[in-house]
Amino acid sequence: MRLQIILKKLQKLHPKEIDLSLERCKELCKKLGNPQNKIEVISVLGTNGKNSTISAMLAILKEANFNCNVYTSPHILKINERFVFNNKELSDDELADLFEEVENINNNNPITFFEILTASFFYKAAQYPNNINLVEAGLFHRFDATNIIKQNLASVVTSISKDHLDWLPKNEQTIEKIVFEKTSTLLNSNIIVAKQSSDETMNCIKKTISQNQSNKIFFNKDFSYSVAENNFFYYEDKFGGLKLQMPNIKGQYQLENISTAIATLRILDLEIKEEHIQKGVTKISDLARLQEIKSGKLKELVKKNKLIVDGSHNEDGARALNEYLQSLDCNKHVIVGMMSNKRHEKFISYFKNITSLTTVDIPNQPNAISGKDLVKKFKNLPNVKYQPNILEAIKSINLKEGDILLITGSLYLAGEVLSLN
């Protein structure tokens, strides 16, 4: 209860949810003693794969006995997920104590919710100067609160695609502009660039960071992976090749994220051994990323059929999901709910050979598009219907033995599914 009270207060400190600027966070961190300059950071930015790449790095670093602090956004079930210190989420009381201390120093000055959360993370992280900090950027990067650090160990650029376009003028809603916003202010250290969805995007990244003096590592040129038989995959970079067991998380795209994580940790000379990587890739925890629900009341509704939840909400995410679905020889049913600012028709256009599509409302999200409005956008697709909520949607689907049911379209919807279960 105390945590919820302080969170409501923090959300009211600024009239806007997002107000792109670095100055407020800089000013607060100055009052806090500039903690962001006292920590070792691996910055992770991009459109897709940020959280998964961080999860892979964390799993490997834990196997190598590193203590890590982790800052991600948004959360799926509870805000504590965003604040990991010494490899462990803060409790409600610990988080409330942290926020109260930081807000007392802020003294009611206007600052966005994300900015004060970021400052709070830096403040707490500075209490563990020997830890490695895995920090996920929020919206874009150039004016993101996480971008106030002056030095880091590395910047990891995950897959970049068109998302959050409503924050850009119509004439600037291009991949070139998005790449610029995300990569033009990267620090001089190490830059690791993951696999991109197109040559155009990769070339844009290379052009934007061409004057950056960092050591630059690119997927395919400097590191790569390939799938082997018998549930193994191969990873290779200048340090040599690794034969690794397939990870405990689903999807071909996860091999891309894991390879990016391995490349990052190997280039940093952290004495990460092959055995740490081998064990780490089998212990990755990644909520709402092709997560199979194996028990609970929602699972009981689908019986022996597979129930998968995934928070993907943009075109590259949809492409990766469809790739996974097409690898399965069964009927595919999809339940989708989305936020109003997403490219709904584009998102759903990537799903091929779907047996049924059901739209739903996302509860307690005023910025979500209603399921009724969403179904109108998909009216040209076969076997499309609307149901008001997840439970009714699952009950309405005629599942046959061996079918798979995927729930996707929003991290907020994914959180609702996991909390319902």
CA 343 to chain centre: 18
285 lies in a domain? no
Are residues 194 and 319 located together in one domain of the fold?
no
As a whole number of angstroms, the distance between CA 141 and CA 148 comes to 10
Question: Does the reported pTM lie above 0.75?
Answer: yes
User: Residue 353: which domain range?
Assistant: 291-420
Give the end of a domain, one of 254, 280, 306: 280
Q: How far apart are CA 262 and CA 222, in angstroms?
A: 12
Whether residues 242 and 341 fall in one domain: no
Residues 195 and 298 in one domain: no
> Tens of pLDDT along 354-375?
999 999 999 999 999 999 999 9
* One-letter amino acid for residue 133 of the chain: N
Tell me, what's the pLDDT at 380?
Answer: 86
Q: In total, how many domains does the chain have?
A: 2
Residue 143 belongs to domain with CATH number: 3.40.1190.10
- Packing angle of the helix pair 113-125, 92-106 (nearest 10 deg): 110
Structural domain contains residue 286 = no
Measured N-to-C along each axis, helices 2-11 and 113-125 cross at an angle, to the nearest 10 degrees, of 120
Say if residue 357 is in the same domain as residue 237: no
* Domain edge (last residue) among 240, 261, 280: 280
Asked which of 256, 280, 304 is the last residue of a domain, the reply is 280
Alpha helices in 209-329 (DSSP H): 252-267, 274-280, 297-302, 315-326
Residues 268 and 308 in one domain: no
Residues 226 and 373 in one domain: no
- Kindly give the parts of the chain with pLDDT less than 70: 164-165, 167
My answer on whether 219 and 269 are in the same domain is yes
Note whether 183 and 325 are same-domain residues: no
With beta carbons less than 8 A apart as the criterion, state whether 330 and 402 touch: yes
Query: Closest Cα to residue 330, out of 383, 400, 384, 382?
Result: 400
pLDDT tens digits, 285-298: 989 999 999 999 99
Query: Rounded CA gap, 20 and 10, in Å?
Result: 17
Q: Cα 278 from chain centroid?
A: 23
